[in-house]
Amino acid sequence: MTSATLAPDRPAGNRRSVRGGLPLTRVSGLGLGVAMVWFSLLVLIPLAAVAVTAAGGGWDGFWRTVTNEQTAATIRLTVGTALLVTLVNIVMGTLIAWVLVRDNFFGKRALEILIDVPFALPTIVAGLVLLSLYGPGSPLGVNIANTRIAVFLAFLFVTLPFIVRTVQPVLAELDPEVEEAAASLGASRYTTFRRIVLPSLTPAIAAGAALSFARAVGEYGSLVLLTGNLPMRTEVASVRILSSIENDNLDSAAAVAVVLLAISLAVIVVLDVIQRRVMRRG
């Protein structure tokens, strides 16, 4: 099934599995060759260049760069806030998915569209959007611009679709009879949710959480106008990399970038493991 997702992710339950298929023919082999050359030039070689450049200064150089007081602070802030946001998303994303699947009310379609807005909206616009409600001159009378709360809020905005869109299709495909079976065996609503529904959703939640975490860690655009990029306070890793680039210090930029890449890679591995576990469960 094609799930209704604008979010850049597929649910864990139907993440693509690409087992089997024909052996390559001459035409398809050539196609694969061309595709691989393109993919290498675009993605693999540039990412390798980041790793090689980071390694250029040796382990000591790398370590010195990432443990630099200001850099370490950005990494701590980025990872810490991303974790916190992911936790909020686990709860709110599951809740939103639940309401979208199980409830039916006027305006639900509009909520569906709102979920996808953070994905399609340019990140710089996302920052501006949040600034207009939570920045100076806020109609709510709050001003969180240039604080760590702004980092949290920006991450929360851009990662909104991930867990919702991974959990939603899995929840929609859950057999209502399974919950009825649990009820007739004496399980209360809460027990049924905790022991039957939640375990079925766990792989999808985990997949969405991983994507959401990765997205938050790498976020840049929405923070530019919102957080002020104050060193030691609201500066995140991406901003730190950018200022290294702008100061023509590509080696330190690469060193911090490698830390982010390692996180991305870990996320991909986690997703692959989840996908394999789901396939085993059938």
* Interface with other proteins in residues 158-217 (CB under 8 A): 160, 175-178, 180-188, 191, 195-196, 199-200, 211, 214-215, 217
Tokens 């993605």, located at residue: 43
The answer to whether 9 and 208 have CB atoms below 8 angstroms apart is yes
Residue 41's CB is within 10 A of a number of other CB atoms, namely 10
Name the segment binding other proteins (CB under 8 A); options: 66-74, 79-87, 121-129, 142-150: 121-129
Cα angle, residue 217 at apex, residues 235 and 72 outer, rounded to 5°: 50
Kindly identify the residues of this chain, within the stretch 61-90, that bind other proteins according to CB under 8 A: none
Instruction: Report the nearest approach of other proteins to the CB of residue 59 (Å).
Output: 19
Kindly identify the residues of this chain, within the stretch 225-254, that bind other proteins according to CB under 8 A: 225, 237-239, 241-242, 245, 250, 253-254
Kindly identify the residues of this chain, within the stretch 87-116, that bind other proteins according to CB under 8 A: 92, 95-96, 98-100, 102-105, 107, 109, 111-116
Q: Residue 91 is encoded by which pair of tokens? A: 């709860």
Name the segment binding other proteins (CB under 8 A); options: 9-17, 62-70, 79-87, 142-150: 9-17
Name the residue nearer to other proteins (CB basis): 57 or 221.
221
The answer to whether 90 and 205 have CB atoms below 8 angstroms apart is yes
At 24 the three-state DSSP class reads: coil
At 45 the three-state DSSP class reads: helix
The answer to whether 147 and 234 have CB atoms below 8 angstroms apart is yes
Q: Which of 81, 155, 219, 235 binds other proteins (CB under 8 A)?
A: 219
